[in-house]
A = this chain, B = another copy of it.
Amino acid sequence: MQHYEARATIAKALGHPSRLLILEALAEKDMCVCELTELVPADQSTVSKHLAVLKHAGIVSVRKEGVKTYYRMKIQCLEGFWKCIESVLKQNLKDHRVALGA
């Protein structure tokens, strides 16, 4: 059962809109907390805590540069995953409309 705990930790870390927004930004390039704070509609302390969650799950890594802290995306699995998920959900919608005769 603890095999699933590790996976659940990853999934839970992905389970918040702000964190997904952060991850999509980090997929482009490393960013410091100050940049991410401008991006995310939330307090700096809140962003910092979201980043701690992602760090704890092993999804991002941290690098200090002077007074700034840069976060870096550590996994490349997300884009493909969401693409797969969304194509399935879109197909389901289509099937549903057909089933309704619409």
Task: Using CB atoms and an 8 Å cutoff, list the residues of chain A in contact with chain B.
Answer: 1-2, 4-8, 10-12, 14-21, 41, 58, 74-77, 80-82, 84-85, 88-89, 92
Q: Which residue of chain B has the shortest Cβ distance to A24 in the bound complex? A: B4
A58 touches B92 (CB 8 A): yes
User: In the assembled complex, which residues on chain B have CB atoms less than 8 Å from the CB atom of A5?
Assistant: 17
Contact B41 A20 (CB under 8 A): no
Does B7 lie within 8 Å of A11, measured CB to CB? no
A11: contacting residue among B11, B75, B89, B92, CB under 8 A: B11
Q: Which residues of B have CB within 8 Å of A11?
A: 11-12, 14-15, 20
User: Is A1 a contact partner of B17 (Cβ separation < 8 A)?
Assistant: yes
